[in-house]
Structure formats: structure tokens, C-alpha cells
Structure 1
């Protein structure tokens, strides 16, 4: 596959578009955190931070910050005792269609664990994907980074083309699927070689746990920062990300609940004025609101124009993970303490607990003490979208590499 002036030129198979890379990747397993790999990623970070187009997208700049040399060094230090670890071969990544930048993080996991990579991206024309792939194209013109083109490929093809998923699955030692349960079910119809393994990121649910007294005790400056962080966790992705909180669980007593909720949501409503709510989103959100009001046992619903709806619940449904908002629709419920809250969230689908005013270590200890099936992450508000080498309970480096005994 070749490119000319930024235009993609498909090669042999007209159904596959290569954004960059080889038509046939050449696996050459490397040691984890290989020096050549880290050097390339550090250079890619510099390239993206200098790119005028990239500067318009915070998710690209966040990714560039993630792969900067200093951070790669810190990540490598976490595996200082991991001797004789090498990539498994080729990783076939199926990226989701709801988070444009996800493909790049998945690819980095494959690179840092020492693998060649085939990354299938969505057919949606995300500008973030184009900007990153264009930056890679510029770098691989340099002879020292030619190996990147030989060992990697980012491809687009119609997801209905099962024969192409069959083709790439047959070539991989690990298949990495990002997507909902339906996507996983469809991809699994394509067989893997006998010794190949698979890591899946299925439908997940996330929530926030907030201390009412902490909100009341916060300064106006702290509240403004909290509102901005909550906005970034939720509105930036239209509440589509698996780690975005949908329900806010409040811990407190007496009048604390009402006063804290009022203060918090008023700050969120001001922050939400930055959000672009197209007509179709507004219509869909209102329809979703009406459906929930018919189904749930609610106390009240607060509307801050069309930008923010908050449904206060009297009683939780049997399946709490069905409480999913969009475009600025949230749920809230009051609880006595941490244990009282977590007992309702003992589900394998629960991924991230986003906290404010609550001790992170206390939550983690309770997850273990209560023998919980879910909650893989506990992070402060504003950090829910921060991806890491440990994701969904998986250690990505160890999961994508093999140890020579």
C-alpha cells in the first residue's frame, strides 16, 4: 500500500484500505519496551505536539503526552523485574467506533509488548485517526523507522466483510477486541489459530461515588475545577466511553445530600454551556428521559435547560447497569456509606468507580473484602478517560507478551 499527497491508494484487495503499513506484516518479536520502539514513540509524540492540526484535538495531545519519552521511561520502570519477556508475534486489534483515539493506545500496547500489529479502525472518517496516521507516514520516510512500516498496518474495511476478519485473525497470535458484546460475538465467528489467545473489552458500566460533605466544604475554585473535570469525563465523549460515569452515588446524611447535589449540578450546568447539543442529540436525549421516567421509581427530575437532565431515584432497578445516560443525562441516588453503595454494584460489567471526597484505598480494600465481581479501576473525577497499561483488570504488557522460562 502506498500514499500520495495524503490520499490513500488501496492495493491488491479493493475492500481493504491501508492508512499506513505493510500489506503483509512481518513479525519480529522484540523485548518489551524495546529501545527502538520507545525511540519511535518518543519521536511520534514530538511530531504530534508540533502538528498544527493535532493541536485542535485534546485527545490527540493527551495521547502524545502519554507516549512522551519521560512517561515511557516511567512505564518501563514498572516492569524492571520482568526479565526475558518478548512479544508473542502479531496482534490483531479491532478498535471501537465510539472513541476515535482508542486505536492508537491499543497499537502502543502492542508495540511496547514487543509485537507486530494489524489495527482495524472504524469506517467512520475520524480526523484524529488521519492526523496520527499521517504523522506516522512522515516518520517512516526516515530509514531508522522503516521497520515500523514493515511490522505494522492500520487498516479500514467494512465490518460485514467476515472473510477479511478471517484473514487477519488467521495471522495473529493475539486478538484484541474493543467493542460491545455484539461486536465480540461477531468477531468470534472468525477462528483463531490453536495457540492464539484473545483479550476482549466488552460492554462496561461506570459510576461516580461522591461525598456530600466534601462538596459542601469545597471552595468555589475547587468546585469550578471539579465541574470542569466532570465535564471532561462525560460530555467530551457524549457519555459513550465505557469509563464515563452514568450514575452519581452520594454518601452523606440529612440535609447534606440536597445541598451538595444542588451546588454540584449548578456548577455542572454552567460548565455544560460549552457543549454543542445538536437538535438530533437533544431529541434523542429527551426521548431517553421519557422512557426512563416511565420505567423507574423516581423521586424527581431536574432540568437545566436542555444541556443537563438529572434523574433522582427512589429505588434502584434490579440491573443497575441499564442506567445509561447520553448527551448530559445522569442518575443519582443517596446511600449511607461506601459498603451500602458497593453492594448494588457487584456485577462483572462494572468497570470504573470515579471518586470525589472518598478514600481511593478504602474503595479498593472494600472491593476485595466484599469479594466483588466488578470494579477494575478507582480514579478521581477527571481521570476516568486516562488509559493505562493496566486496563479493565488486564496487565496489557504481560497479556501481550510471553516470558521465556
Structure 2
């Protein structure tokens, strides 16, 4: 097990929302926002912006206003995902804010963003020795004996990965009281009103395609919140006209911005072929810079075989209610554009499974302390009710 940011002091628990933790997070945020290299890395820029001082202050005030006493959960292990380098840092910094001591296992596939992030973390080690010791990064295989020894002392785990990887990790010995936060394989969708796409003025339409591209092609659909399914809401003729307007513009934008690589294109092509061979649910294959398949249902095949990489599944619906029974726990984010707000507000409370996040198009990749239906600050803390009763 290789330690990536050596500590000069032993890790200790701190009071929840301590000033030291806030100062450290602020310092890291400021470094990320000021680094010219980070400006070329959307994930690090978003991370620094999310933890800026104004946001962090409001976040702490939110939990201080709750009728609870927050205390650290204890020692927390984070198994980080490989699909978006810095996603794991949001719960990791929130865990630090909660006063926990954290051990983060980086993926062997971690890319440049993770390396830049570690450079800034190491730069803060001397100024913030307690926080550095409470946020330790390691490289280690899953079966590493030192890692296994640490796991037997954990009070919580934050586990990211495929369903198979999560099942394997949950078999590792941990204390009986260890609390697990699971972020397994997810699929997201975007909901577009066909008539609104057809009638949008040119400037509004161009802005919409930019938002779509930002949400769903920034990481070649590898982010769990990036949609792999486009749900078209409207009548058949309107949907056809909307598609004829939308896809050529999006394809042109993706080519101009070089959002997809040759490897992405190959994977999208192979994925489309696999789905076509697997089930009659997949029809009307549209090839090109972006691959498209029409579907009539959300099935399990797409969960296993959809590679992202510029492959979009199109689900035409005349009613939002038709979508409800298709949703399940693997469906994470539902972004939307052009949908009547009252229709959404009436429909969303009826969705009892899936679609844990409902966000406007352009906000799919924006993190929130409530993620996948879980309040991370609450779950990474021990809380007690501070209200007293009189009688």
C-alpha cells in the first residue's frame, strides 16, 4: 500500500464543522480555482467552485440550523471511482468537514485530474498537518493485506463502482457497526419536449444544445449523471421534427469541440451492435458521429451493455406517466428542458422508484450534498437530537 500524501502527525477526529476543516477546504478550493491547469479540467474547476467560501458557509449554516448535534462518524474508507477523476472528492471533503479521519484508495486508472489534485493537496500538507493526516490517499490493490487491516478498523465506507465491484467490496471484513454508503452503477436520462425543441428561437435552441453537450458529452457519457437515454415527450410528428432539428446541430457541435475520440466512436459502434443483437427493444439504428437507437422500454440490457461514448437511446413518449413504471433504483438523474413546470411538479411526486435527481438541463453534473437520495453530511455523521422535552 503506497501512501501518496505522507502525514507528519497521527490522524485524529475533529469536531464537526471545525474552523480548521473549513479553512483547509477553502484553501484547496482557492488553489484549484487559481490554477491555470485546472481551468482546462472541468471536474477540478467545478470542485473548486462548489467548495468556495460562500457555498461552504451556507452549507455549514444549513446543518447548524438542524435540531441535531453533529459528531464525527469516525474512520471512513473511500473506494474511489475511475470514471470521473474528482467525483470522490465531494464526499471526501464533506467527510472531513464532519470531523472524520479518511482513507482514500485511488483507482489504478486515475487520470491527470487526480494527479493535479494530489499536487495541490500535498502543497497544503505542511500548513494543515491535522487535515492532511485526516485525508490520506493510497494506491493499493483490493486484496492488499495492509488495506484489509485498515478496513477492520473502519466506522464507515463510501463505495463507488460497478454492481459486481460493490458486491465484492461488501464481502470484505469490516466491523459490525460499519456504515456503508453505496454508489453503484447508475444510468441517467434527459427529458425533452419535442414541440418546445421545434419552436425554440435560434438563440434559445443553440443554448439548449450547448447545455445538452455540457451535461452529456463532457465526459463521453461516463459520468453517472450524464444521460444515455433521451426521452422525447410529444406527438409522433413533433418528435420526428424535433429530432431532425436537434441531432444535426448536436453532431456539428460535438465535432467542432472534439468531444469524442476515435476510441469513443468505436465503443459506441460496438455497443449499438451488441444491443441490436440482444433484443428487439432496439430499433432504427442511426450511425455517424453519434450513434442512436430507438427503444420502447428501459430494460436491463442497456444497463450492462451501454458504453456511453456518444451512443444515445431514444424513447418517444406521449405521456410522462408512461415513464413512471419503467424507472427503478438504477436510474439516477433526470434532466429536463422545455417541459411545463406544472406537469413536472404534478408528476414527480408520483415517482416512487428511481430518478433521485430532477434537474434542469445544464445542471446534471452539478454536485449536491444530497446525492442518489442520500444526505451525505447526515450519513457521514453521528447525530443526536438536541431538543429537550418538558412535561
The TM-score with structure 1 as length reference comes to 0.88
Equivalent residue for 2:12? 27
How do residues 60-139 of structure 1 correspond to structure 2 at under 5 angstroms?
60-82=44-66, 83-139=68-124
- DSSP 3-state at the match of 1:130: helix
Equivalent residue for 2:148? 166
Change (3 A) 1:222 1:291: same
Q: Structure 1 residue 377 and structure 2 residue 357: aligned?
A: yes
Equivalent residue for 1:43? 27
Find the partner of 2:368 among 383, 388, 397: 388
Between the aligned partners of 1:26 and 1:276, the Cα distance in structure 2 is 42
Contact 1:44–1:64 (Cα < 8 Å) also in 2: yes
The TM-score with structure 2 as length reference comes to 0.91
Change (3 A) 1:77 1:218: farther
Could you list the per-position Cα deviations for residues 144-192 of structure 1 after superposition, in whole angstroms to 9, with x for gaps in the alignment?
A: x12112222011112343x344222112111110111111111122111
Contact 1:21–1:151 (Cα < 8 Å) also in 2: no
Contact 1:39–1:69 (Cα < 8 Å) also in 2: no
Contact 1:223–1:267 (Cα < 8 Å) also in 2: no
Change (3 A) 1:94 1:297: closer
Change (3 A) 1:321 1:76: farther
Change (3 A) 1:146 1:186: same
Could you list the per-position Cα deviations for residues 98-153 of structure 1 after superposition, in whole angstroms to 9, with x for gaps in the alignment?
A: 111123212112112221111111112512112111112112222xx121122220
Could you list the per-position Cα deviations for residues 212-246 of structure 1 after superposition, in whole angstroms to 9, with x for gaps in the alignment?
A: 12212222222222212211222222212221111
Equivalent residue for 1:153? 136
- Structure 1: gaps spanning 5 or more residues: 1-15
Shift of residue 320 of structure 1? Answer: 7.0
Equivalent residue for 1:7? none
Between the aligned partners of 1:271 and 1:341, the Cα distance in structure 2 is 29
Find the partner of 1:268 among 250, 255, 261: 250
Contact 2:218–2:259 (Cα < 8 Å) also in 1: no
Could you list the per-position Cα deviations for residues 188-210 of structure 1 after superposition, in whole angstroms to 9, with x for gaps in the alignment?
A: 22111122211111111211111
Shift of residue 343 of structure 1? Answer: 2.3
Shift of residue 269 of structure 1? Answer: 0.7
Between the aligned partners of 1:403 and 1:26, the Cα distance in structure 2 is 22
Q: Which moved more, 1:206-215 or 1:273-282?
A: 273-282
Equivalent residue for 1:291? 274
- Structure 2: gaps spanning 5 or more residues: 386-391
Between the aligned partners of 1:147 and 1:75, the Cα distance in structure 2 is 22
Between the aligned partners of 1:72 and 1:349, the Cα distance in structure 2 is 30
Between the aligned partners of 1:275 and 1:179, the Cα distance in structure 2 is 28
Shift of residue 24 of structure 1? Answer: 8.4
Between the aligned partners of 1:21 and 1:310, the Cα distance in structure 2 is 48
Change (3 A) 1:297 1:84: closer
Report how many aligned residue pairs link the two structures.
381
Between the aligned partners of 1:160 and 1:270, the Cα distance in structure 2 is 46
Between the aligned partners of 1:254 and 1:286, the Cα distance in structure 2 is 26
Change (3 A) 1:81 1:317: closer
Contact 1:239–1:326 (Cα < 8 Å) also in 2: yes
- DSSP 3-state at the match of 1:255: helix
Change (3 A) 1:279 1:264: closer
Find the partner of 1:212 among 162, 176, 194: 194
Could you list the per-position Cα deviations for residues 261-286 of structure 1 after superposition, in whole angstroms to 9, with x for gaps in the alignment?
A: 11111221111112354443332222
Contact 1:177–1:201 (Cα < 8 Å) also in 2: yes
- Let me know the Cα RMSD of the aligned residues: 2.2
Change (3 A) 1:169 1:321: same
